[in-house]
Structure 1
């Protein structure tokens, strides 16, 4: 198990970007931005709005980060990580997508086992914090959890390598609660796009209600998945490439395609992808909304994923400051409500509905990669 115990570091806010991000390091900016006199009023308005329409956070690396702590209490508060129940409540987070991604360099034959171990850990963590967290498999269960004062935990995204090129493993992972799978880093979802087996994976995901995450996928894979999927797709960690040329960010052409397909671009609060300040993040949200539409933009904290965050957004409690900035820019409350909660709910509901319909028409796929791509 030594290969599963690589130490996770939580970099500080910008000013200390990891060397690995040097190519995308933000331009120097002042350490703080003086706000107008009405900032407290705008933050108060943001909190009121978030009370009715909380944040559905599209990506959290908390499961892997917790592996390295000998003891923790997320309900009391845990300073060793970016995320705990008090800060989720302060940030008005109502739902959290927990990433089951694996560290780089993990042997391919360990992917399935490591993903199952993370699923087991997630269940243990949720069971140990019943007053703060609740596992949610469907859009309805997400709402129920929020109405009961709990943060809904949605499982995924997981890495496509966790399937080990087996649709049977996909079904097993879904039976354990997996709702999102990242289509990147395999022979069937590569720079060349989706192979015939890759297309069959997408069809089976639609039948199961597993959402496709296209962040990090090639442009060819993204375009083909948008065309093929009957269910809206996610980009759980993608901003606007026109504003910041990070490879995981999307071009305006792809953003327009995503909007036309009613997908969801969840803009990450990471310095290397969006910039060093709250205003930089808001610029990306403005851009994605303008190109893809208000119904196709969401939020992704990317906390506990080993990356630096913009000033003022160091942990999950910072969302009211971001929403206050959007209100200052004139975002209508209806668009903010879609951004924080409505769009994620729509995508989950659509996946649930399409899966029920697809299971009536289609039997579980028995396709094998050797048969289709051999």
Structure 2
């Protein structure tokens, strides 16, 4: 088979699960959260990088849809707007039942794929969305959220974000606080995937120190190729291997192709994205790499990967480089589904051991100057 035929063959056999897509955020910002004003059955390229004709062309089989709110909503409206983002995802599934199927388990991904549906899951992008409350975290799980990114670009009262690696004066906690470690433990207990994209290197290390379940990076790339603070260093990639987790490669040109000098618009190519995939495979192993495009969360895209229609191009490029059909299947979803299963197994084991919900409250000194938390 040609590389192009190999790509299509693989994506017919197994679901392609993308770790991160911000379509819900685009609907919020461009259509005021009014799903009825959006017709995903037609070409939406004027507004978004995602629509149904293009995702069908791209052979998408599963998607973690991001529930994202900006950092300027931390301590104000983050919980409410995060809930509204989850609601947008569910309304999209309701509006297009012939295409999308809401799932909350690893097994559900395969069931949806077998019915010709795109398995649709929710990832909460940023720990500021829980307002330092374990109860709020649990309620997000109950409505179907299956991963949480511990931070976005801002520190939370319990974890440092990746910009601190660029500027040490931004450090608040030197990684995870004791309460932040409890957040990770509670996510393990519930069966929620711990997402380490966006966090500082020390936060990554602290989370890996205590995680009882495999972790994910839902949309990150390789620091050795592009020295961007959003990317993952080789020593962390080795720890992801030891943790049995996964790094899902981001398509954002700023994370893919670092330039020595600032230019107005960073560009990247499909081949450069493939270089990141290859590097992570070489360091972590082929069982620990996936795809996390960040479509509709990035202002520009790599040449050859302009939208959700273009996923097969990446698989064809890797086939040209000698990737086997079996390894391409792992990249598409085998690795992510394995991680998801293992997270569920840890959850079930804890349930059998009668491990009860954590009840810690964030110490007052971390939130004492926050006007919306006067009752601590």
* TM-score normalised by the chain length of structure 1: 0.86
Q: Per-residue deviation at 1:107?
A: 4.8
Q: Structure 2 regions of 5+ residues with no counterpart?
A: 161-170, 258-267, 368-376
Q: Confirm whether residue 365 of structure 1 aligns to residue 371 of structure 2.
A: no
Match of 1:106 in 2: 73
Q: Structure 1 regions of 5+ residues with no counterpart?
A: 1-37
In structure 1, C-alpha distance between the alignment counterparts of 2:51 and 2:134, rounded to whole Å: 34
Matches within 5 A, 1:281-292: 281-292=273-284
Tell me which moved more, 195-204 or 359-368. Answer: 359-368
Q: Confirm whether residue 72 of structure 1 aligns to residue 54 of structure 2.
A: no
Q: Per-residue deviation at 1:359?
A: 2.2
Q: Confirm whether residue 225 of structure 1 aligns to residue 186 of structure 2.
A: no
Q: Per-residue deviation at 1:257?
A: 1.1
Match of 2:23 in 1: 62
Which deviations, in whole Å up to 9, do the C-alpha atoms of 1:178-220 show, x marking residues without a partner? 1111112212112411111111111110111111111111111
Structure with higher RCO (Cα < 8 A, 6+ apart): 1
CA spacing shift, 1:277–1:306, aligned 2, 3 Å: closer
SS of structure 2 residue aligned to 1:95: strand
Match of 1:305 in 2: 297
Which deviations, in whole Å up to 9, do the C-alpha atoms of 1:16-39 show, x marking residues without a partner? xxxxxxxxxxxxxxxxxxxxxx9x
Structure 1 segments (4+ residues) deviating >4 Å: 371-374
In structure 1, C-alpha distance between the alignment counterparts of 2:74 and 2:192, rounded to whole Å: 25
Alpha carbons 1:196, 1:372 under 8 Å: kept: no
For 1:127, which of 94, 110, 114 is the aligned residue?
94
Match of 1:175 in 2: 142
For 1:186, which of 156, 169, 194 is the aligned residue?
156
SS of structure 2 residue aligned to 1:188: coil
SS of structure 2 residue aligned to 1:243: coil
Q: Per-residue deviation at 1:108?
A: 2.4
In structure 2, C-alpha distance between the alignment counterparts of 1:358 and 1:86, rounded to whole Å: 42
In structure 2, C-alpha distance between the alignment counterparts of 1:296 and 1:306, rounded to whole Å: 24
For 1:200, which of 182, 195, 200 is the aligned residue?
182
SS of structure 2 residue aligned to 1:179: strand
Match of 2:164 in 1: none
In structure 2, C-alpha distance between the alignment counterparts of 1:125 and 1:249, rounded to whole Å: 31
Tell me which moved more, 82-91 or 126-135. Answer: 82-91
Match of 1:42 in 2: 3
Q: Per-residue deviation at 1:360?
A: 2.8
Q: Per-residue deviation at 1:145?
A: 0.8
Alpha carbons 2:74, 2:129 under 8 Å: kept: no
Matches within 5 A, 1:231-310: 231-275=213-257, 276-310=268-302
In structure 2, C-alpha distance between the alignment counterparts of 1:186 and 1:104, rounded to whole Å: 9
Tell me which moved more, 317-326 or 351-360. Answer: 351-360
* TM-score normalised by the chain length of structure 2: 0.86
In structure 2, C-alpha distance between the alignment counterparts of 1:300 and 1:232, rounded to whole Å: 17
